Amino acid sequence: MDTQAFIIPNSRKNNATRASIFLNHAFASGTFKNVYVGRYTAGERAGERCVAKEFKTGSVFQEHYFNEEMSVIRRTQEVIDDWWNAGIIGRRIFLNTPAVWTYEVSGKKALVEPIIENFEKLNSNSGWVNLVGGAWGEVMQALSHFSYHNSAGQILLCDLQGGPCSDGYILSDPAILSQTIRAYGPADLGPDGIYSFFRRHRCGSFCKRWWRTPTSQGVARFPMTRGTTMVPNPPARVRYNPLARIPK
């Protein structure tokens, strides 16, 4: 007799091959991306709504941004898989996994992923915490802390945002802070960002007492904001595309 093991992935993918995007107005505007809503027209998700995220800056160096974004997604997926395997909570956390799609007419590229209904932000990359985020809010503060512990202090997963679904919670568009500023793109505030997070982090019921925290608290150099704080490009890259800082 055959035995089959079904593995449910902790990711949520497009599962579609084509979509119509409504470009007449931006659904949301982030620090350096515009988000448009659309609908899948072919594939398993045909009929469901999706979003297309476009970088605000010019097209020439977009490849660079797409690659950075996908490296954040890959690393985040590892954290979420480890979190699930550690059995900290019984409910699932899924990561929305975008893919780079190309518009048929303009040839421009965008990151496409399934839409998240009831979207909310639960923490930022500068230590802001949604104090009315409920149980999922507390789970996400623990997920950030777990990512630091689980990576032996190498990274911090943050900018956690998304929405609840029937079988858990879906995250989208996170940020990773690392030991090398900007290694994970412009939202990677480096070690100072990690210190800023822990200066403002209060362990809740899902954090474990033995999880590591930075031994030196350093300086909370970045002002705490709800939006995503971006670091300017290093001098070598300024000629490509200076990124706008978030307005104070």
Binding span for Zn ion by CB under 5 A among 33-41, 84-92, 140-148, 221-229: 140-148
Nearest to 54 by CA among 6, 21, 90, 87: 21
> Nearer Cβ to Zn ion, position 176 or 207?
207
Report yes or no: 117 and 48 within 8 Å, Cβ to Cβ. Answer: no
Cα-trace Rg, the chain: 18
Q: Does 207 bind Zn ion (CB under 5 A)?
A: yes
Rounded distance, CA 98 to CA 90, Å? 25
Q: Does 45 bind Zn ion (CB under 5 A)?
A: no
Binding span for Zn ion by CB under 5 A among 55-63, 88-96, 177-185, 197-205: 197-205
Binding-residue pattern over the window 142 to 171 for Zn ion, x denoting contact by CB under 5 A: ---x--------------------------
Q: Does 123 bind Zn ion (CB under 5 A)?
A: no
Q: Kindly compute the dihedral angle of the four CA atoms of residues 163, 164, 168, 171, in this order, to the nearest 10 degrees.
A: 0
Spatial neighbors of 25 by CB under 8 A, at least 6 apart, are: none
Nearest to 178 by CA among 155, 195, 149: 155
> Nearer Cβ to Zn ion, position 11 or 213?
213
Location of structure tokens 């954040």: 72
* Residue count, binding to Zn ion (CB under 5 A): 3
Q: What is the closest distance, in whole angstroms, from the C-beta atom of residue 146 to Zn ion in the complex? A: 8
Which residue number places its CB atom closest to Zn ion? 207
Rounded distance, CA 81 to CA 171, Å? 13
> Nearer Cβ to Zn ion, position 56 or 149?
149
Binding span for Zn ion by CB under 5 A among 61-69, 181-189, 202-210, 223-231: 202-210
Rounded distance, CA 181 to CA 194, Å? 10
* Angle (nearest 5°) at CA 156 between 231 and 144: 125
Q: What is the closest distance, in whole angstroms, from the C-beta atom of residue 69 to Zn ion in the complex? A: 27
Q: What is the closest distance, in whole angstroms, from the C-beta atom of residue 204 to Zn ion in the complex? A: 7
Q: Using CB under 5 A, which of 89, 203, 224, 246 touches Zn ion?
A: 203
| Binding stretches for Zn ion (CB under 5 A) | 145, 203, 207
